[in-house]
Amino acid sequence: MTLANSTRRAGSAASRVASHPVFGSLRRPLQRPELASLAGLVAAFTVFSIMRPDLFLTQDNGVNVASLAAQYGIVAVGVTVLMIGGHFDLSVGTIVGLTGWAMYYFGNELSLPPIVTILCTLVIGTLLGAINGIILVRSRLPSFIITLATSLVYRGILTMKTSGFPVVVKFPASYAQMIAGKHLFGYRMSLLWFLVVAVLATLFLLRTRMGNWTFAIGQNPTAAKNLGVPVARTTVTLFALSGLTSGIAGVVVAVQYFSIDANRGAGWELIAIAMAVIGGTLLTGGYGSVLGTVLGAFMYAMVNAGLLLIGLQGYWVNIFLGIVVLVAVMINRIVIDHFVMSPNRGLEQPTIVVDETSTPAKAGLPDVTAKAGATQGTRGVTTPVVALRDVTMTFQSVTALRNISIEAYAGKVLALLGDNGAGKSTLIKVLSGVHQPTSGSVEVDGRPVTLHSAHDARGAGISTVFQDLAVCDLMSIARNMVLGNEPCKRLGLLRIYDAGEANRITTDALATLGVDLRRALSDPAATVFGGQKQAVANARAIAYGSRCLILDEPTAALAVRQTQQVLAQVRRARDAGQAVVLITHNLQQAMSVADDIVVLTRGRVSAQFSSAEADLERITQLIAQG
Q: At 545, is the pLDDT very low, low, confident or very high (cuts 50, 70, 90)? A: low
Instruction: Specify the higher pLDDT residue, 546 or 300.
Output: 300
Q: Are 373 and 539 in contact (CB under 8 A)?
A: no
d(CA 505, CA 484): 13
d(CA 524, CA 306): 38
DSSP state of 595: S
Lowest mean pLDDT among 103-112, 341-350, 493-502, 600-609: 341-350
d(CA 138, CA 621): 46
Terminal CA-to-CA distance of the chain, rounded, Å?
Answer: 45
- Second-level CATH architecture of 373-625: 3-Layer(aba) Sandwich (3.40)
d(CA 441, CA 438): 9
Query: Of 146, 169, 163, 148, nearest to 99 (Cα)?
Result: 169
Determine what percent of the chain is predicted with pLDDT higher than 90: 46
Number of other residues whose CB lies within 10 A of the CB of residue 504: 15
Query: DSSP secondary structure string, 317-348?
Result: HHHHHHHHHHHHHHHHHHHIIIIISS--GGG-
Q: What is the pLDDT of residues 248-303, one digit of tens each?
A: 999 999 999 999 999 999 999 999 999 999 998 988 899 999 999 999 999 999 99
User: Counting every residue, how long is the chain?
Assistant: 626
CATH of domain 21-340: 1.10.3470
d(CA 414, CA 610): 9
pLDDT at 89: 96
Q: Considering the entire predicted model, what is its pTM?
A: 0.83
What are the boundaries of each domain within the chain?
21-340, 373-625
Query: DSSP secondary structure string, 604-626?
Result: EEEEEEETTT--HHHHHHHHHH-
Q: Are 531 and 351 in contact (CB under 8 A)?
A: yes
Query: Of 286, 265, 288, nearest to 275 (Cα)?
Result: 288
Per the prediction, the chain carries an average pLDDT of 84
d(CA 374, CA 261): 71
Q: What is the pLDDT of residues 24-83, one digit of tens each?
A: 456 666 667 788 888 889 988 999 999 999 999 999 999 999 999 999 999 999 999 999
pLDDT at 375: 41
Lowest mean pLDDT among 344-353, 369-378, 401-410: 369-378
Q: Are 451 and 464 in contact (CB under 8 A)?
A: no
Instruction: Specify the higher pLDDT residue, 30 or 100.
Output: 100
Instruction: Specify the higher pLDDT residue, 27 or 89.
Output: 89
Q: At 491, is the pLDDT very low, low, confident or very high (cuts 50, 70, 90)? A: confident
Query: Has residue 601 got a pLDDT over 50?
Result: yes
Q: Are 243 and 129 in contact (CB under 8 A)?
A: yes
d(CA 537, CA 315): 51
Q: Are 260 and 97 in contact (CB under 8 A)?
A: yes
